[in-house]
Structure 1
Amino acid sequence: MKMEGNRFKSLFHLGRVVYLFICCFHLLLSLSFAQEVLDRIVAVVGDQIILESELRMQLDLYVNQMGIEFKSETQKSQLEKEILEQMINDKFLLIAAQKDTIIEVTSKEVEEAVKDQLKKVKSEFSEEAFKAQLEAEGLTESELKKKYREQIKNQMMIDRLVASKLSKVSVSTREVKDFYETYKDSIPDQPEAVKLSHILLQIKPSQEAMDSLKRKAEMVLELAKKGEDFTQLASSYSDDPTGREGGDLGFFRKGDMIPKFEEAAFALNTGEISNVVETKFGYHIIKVEEKKDDMVHARHILILIRPSKKDSLGVEELADNLYHQLLEGEDFGELAKKFSTDEESKKLGGELGWYPVAQMSPEFKEGVKDLKIDEMSPPLKSQFGVHILKILDRREQKKLTLGDDWDAIKDMVRRKKTNELVAKWVEKMRQDTYVEIRL
């Protein structure tokens, strides 16, 4: 019984049913992680492959999402194998969905989902951090959308395929009671969670800051034009990660870079240096090292557009002022609607919903740990800006019981039954398809 309980606990912590992708479309994180891995094939499914970078990306995202800290390499290796199995199952289901003539996902549906997802991702970065991350990964926003498109379309096809096959999964009262009696020692506790509202004040660069940064770029350009070594200038002044390699971007084609940048680069002859080129990321100075067919090999220096200390202090002063207004009785929701730069939550008076405390960023976790319901935190800084948090409600960590948590336990039974049905379904497909695991 104990072994069966542990098996369920592992299955439960993988979160959702087998057929779902490990959903975390924080592609900005996932792409940068993938670039660090020397790729090799870890699994072959029919004529499709799974790369090590894809596996590590999913593992990394899942670990971050769930707040997991590995106690041993064995534990990490076991989770890696479980995630790879899930990815293999996803491949089978995607192949089946692509062959099923009834399953349809329209371009309009995909575009709407891509738009929503991009909006969510942007809300987790300041504008400057989002631009810098894209630049660091050599992506344009349109390229990011393209990558989302493929992931989201695949996910929607799998979801619809499974929904069409498993819509009749039912759960009886007896099944819920039997499940609870079997697994009650293994069912994870309901985690400590808080229901939050916040006022977010993003720190944006002022025109004064932008003018100062442009003057810096023009100063660096002057040094380059006078003959100073471009590689050394990039190493000393560039805010781009490529600065460590002397600004080297390697070869690229038209369409690989944002339009303003590539227009300037392709207009240069070998050895020439551009004037200051302004893009949404900042101010660039470009040097063409070589031209080959339809490709250009270039270096660049980026002076990133970012707020000055003065800009930061101005936002911090506003946050302090709002905090004191709140202490004097001003309505939190009204101030959130008026001042918050989080476009989604401000419509709801700053409400963010429920968050497990264990999965919060360190600054948020510290900010809420001693707050009682209806209390507010002093202003605190994160990568997104300056926040004022308000606790709307709290849930302490507790064991789930049939009396208090019937619906939650019933949903676990439904997920378990769905898991088992899909596993049998996938197993049938595996018998007719070549699968090789190289992990």
Structure 2
Amino acid sequence: MTLKYFKYNPLLIRVTLLTLFLVQISIVASAQSSKGQVVDKIIAKIDNYIILKSELEGAYIDYLASGQPSTNDLKCRILESLITNKVLVAKAEIDSVVVSDEEVESMLERKLQYFISQIGSEERIEQYYGKTIQQFRDELKEKEKEQLVVRKMQETISENISVTPAEVELFFKSIPRDSLPFFSKEVTVGQIVKVPSVSESEKLVAEQKLSDLRQRILNGEDFGTLAKQYSEEPAAQNTGGDLGFQPRGALDPKFEAAALSLKPGEISKPIESSFGIHIIQLVERRGNLYNSRHIILIPKTTQKDIDRSIVELDSIRNLIVQDSLTFEQAAKELSDDQNTSSSGGYFLDAQGSNSISVKELDPTVYFAIDTMTLGAISKPVSFRQPDGKEAVRIFYYKSSKKPHQANMKDDYQKLYAAKLNQKRSKAISRWFSDAKQEVFINIDEEYDQCNILK
């Protein structure tokens, strides 16, 4: 449920706004700043953290672009959200609330795939933001880590908050009839994905080519020059395959194990990771940090590989149709798509509901189910994943809801989530009133009228 439906509730907007938009906003704002569209300066300091004017302006533009209504105090409320999040991070340091490297990497990979799917490719990301994919990744990683810390602090603050059915009903009745949201058509759709395995013959071709390149380097040719010429990593054109200093746990485990088994200057034989096949050179180690460079080749799937996956997926489909296996069980146990397998194969909206607006659904998915009948399972179809790799999937068109105005029967879960967010927002607002006394906060006098500290 979007924030505009509860515009009379400033607490909900004030505390949750940044959670929805921070990472996208800050990166877009950074890109705008680099192009000279925003004159930057520090507008707030919270302990060791700062907020830039470009962050506020980017958040403001993004909020309006999302279709939300503007108000006279909108920038003040956005700034308060930015400051609240920084206070959460600062307090997390004081209270020793941390997130693991594994959590950060997992979230980072999902966010990267999201950007790739939205923009089209790694090359287009580099062109749009004027950064190598590695620079983009490093910047995004810091923001994702901060967001995870914020989320963990929010969960800690509101962990004992719950909502009863009676509260949901009172919440629904409190919404003016003329302010009830109108929901577009919603569908419940699932998928099971199979990613074709690359044939061993294709892998051997890549390994042989990399072995030849390794020998050329050992014979005196420059690693960086060959990386620019042959590596299939887009950033190699700018970096020569250099990945810069990385902490343990930041890169693919197989890649890292191979890199750390080398002596500085030594070059590995071809090794396979989840991204492709590499030769790696360890450049330098500094404690838990290490710098490496690589040349990667990505073996391509052939039509035979795809055909094998189609046959496999068709067998799974037949088991479901014959009631020998439920769709949800098959998705959890057999699907190669991590984003949907954990939810039984279903696409979820921002609130975690599998009843998703067609406006939020990927257009390719919508067009696929548009010709299906309710309860049907499609034949296997090929598609290209956000990372560019070929895959095969089947769809399950479970149910559909017509466009309608919000009501308790059809939208209980959405109303429940909205009421829960409202209570959590109030708890965080109360927490902020106390926490801002425990950290240093300085706000540029330009924003005195916002009265954030009062």
TM bracket (short chain): 0.5 to 0.7
Query: Are residues 1:261 and 2:255 paired?
Result: no
Query: What is aligned with 1:161?
Result: 157
Cα distance, 1:194 vs structure 2: 1.8
Cα distance, 1:285 vs structure 2: 3.8
The answer to whether the 8 Å contact 1:19/1:162 transfers is no
Query: What is aligned with 1:302?
Result: 296
One-letter code aligned to 1:383: Q
Cα distance, 1:215 vs structure 2: 1.4
Cα 1:9–1:338, aligned 2, differ >3 Å: closer, same or farther?
Answer: closer
Q: Distance in 1 between matches of 2:260 and 2:245?
A: 9
The answer to whether the 8 Å contact 1:238/1:302 transfers is yes
Cα 1:230–1:53, aligned 2, differ >3 Å: closer, same or farther?
Answer: farther
Cα distance, 1:388 vs structure 2: 0.4
One-letter code aligned to 1:185: D
Query: What is aligned with 1:365?
Result: 366
Cα 1:438–1:342, aligned 2, differ >3 Å: closer, same or farther?
Answer: farther
Q: Deviations over 1:91-140 (max 9, x none)?
A: 334556766xxx896x8xx66x9669949967997xxx9xx99x954899
Match of 2:401 among 395, 403, 418: 395
Cα 1:340–1:119, aligned 2, differ >3 Å: closer, same or farther?
Answer: farther
Cα distance, 1:314 vs structure 2: 2.4
Query: Are residues 1:205 and 2:202 paired?
Result: no
What does 1:21-420 align with in structure 2 at a 5 Å threshold? 22=19, 43-50=43-50, 55=55, 83-95=78-90, 118=106, 137=134, 151-162=147-158, 176=171, 179-181=174-176, 184-225=177-218, 230-245=223-238, 247-249=240-242, 252=245, 255=248, 258-264=256-262, 266-268=264-266, 274-280=267-273, 281-286=275-280, 299-304=293-298, 307-320=301-314, 333=327, 336=331, 339-342=334-337, 350=345, 353-380=354-381, 381-383=383-385, 385-401=391-407, 409=415, 412=418, 415-416=421-422, 419=425
Q: Distance in 1 between matches of 2:53 and 2:364?
A: 30
Query: Are residues 1:434 and 2:446 paired?
Result: no
Query: What is aligned with 1:3?
Result: none
The answer to whether the 8 Å contact 1:231/1:247 transfers is yes
Cα distance, 1:239 vs structure 2: 1.1
Q: Distance in 2 between matches of 1:203 and 1:70?
A: 37
Cα 1:46–1:378, aligned 2, differ >3 Å: closer, same or farther?
Answer: same
Q: Distance in 2 between matches of 1:424 and 1:252?
A: 41
Count of matched residue positions in the alignment of Structure 1 and Structure 2: 401
- Identity score, percent: 17
Gaps of 5+ in 2: 35-39, 123-131, 348-353, 448-454
Cα 1:21–1:252, aligned 2, differ >3 Å: closer, same or farther?
Answer: same
Gaps of 5+ in 1: 1-5, 269-273
The answer to whether the 8 Å contact 1:326/1:332 transfers is yes
Three-state SS of the structure 2 residue aligned to 1:239 is: coil
Cα 1:370–1:59, aligned 2, differ >3 Å: closer, same or farther?
Answer: farther
Three-state SS of the structure 2 residue aligned to 1:86 is: helix
User: Which moves more between the two structures, 309-318 or 33-42?
Assistant: 33-42
Cα 1:298–1:347, aligned 2, differ >3 Å: closer, same or farther?
Answer: closer
Q: Distance in 1 between matches of 2:418 and 2:445?
A: 30
Q: Distance in 1 between matches of 2:243 and 2:210?
A: 22
Q: Deviations over 1:36-61 (max 9, x none)?
A: 687976542431424569959x969x
One-letter code aligned to 1:340: S
Q: Deviations over 1:158-187 (max 9, x none)?
A: 3332456x7799987996476322xx3334
Q: Distance in 1 between matches of 2:362 and 2:341?
A: 21
The answer to whether the 8 Å contact 2:162/2:420 transfers is no
Cα 1:120–1:192, aligned 2, differ >3 Å: closer, same or farther?
Answer: farther
Q: TM-score, normalised by structure 2?
A: 0.62
User: Which moves more between the two structures, 299-308 or 240-249?
Assistant: 299-308
Cα 1:398–1:375, aligned 2, differ >3 Å: closer, same or farther?
Answer: same
Cα 1:119–1:291, aligned 2, differ >3 Å: closer, same or farther?
Answer: closer
The answer to whether the 8 Å contact 2:92/2:149 transfers is no
Cα distance, 1:312 vs structure 2: 2.8
Cα 1:124–1:49, aligned 2, differ >3 Å: closer, same or farther?
Answer: closer
Q: Distance in 1 between matches of 2:312 and 2:224?
A: 41
Q: Distance in 1 between matches of 2:359 and 2:320?
A: 27
User: Which moves more between the two structures, 305-314 or 320-329?
Assistant: 320-329
The answer to whether the 8 Å contact 1:261/1:279 transfers is no
For the aligned residue pairs, the C-alpha RMSD in angstroms reads: 5.8
One-letter code aligned to 2:228: S
Cα 1:428–1:298, aligned 2, differ >3 Å: closer, same or farther?
Answer: closer
Q: Distance in 1 between matches of 2:157 and 2:264?
A: 46
Three-state SS of the structure 1 residue aligned to 2:183 is: coil
Cα distance, 1:214 vs structure 2: 0.6
Q: Distance in 2 between matches of 1:389 and 1:36?
A: 37
Cα 1:344–1:253, aligned 2, differ >3 Å: closer, same or farther?
Answer: closer
The answer to whether the 8 Å contact 1:136/1:240 transfers is no
Query: What is aligned with 1:271?
Result: none
Q: TM-score, normalised by structure 1?
A: 0.64
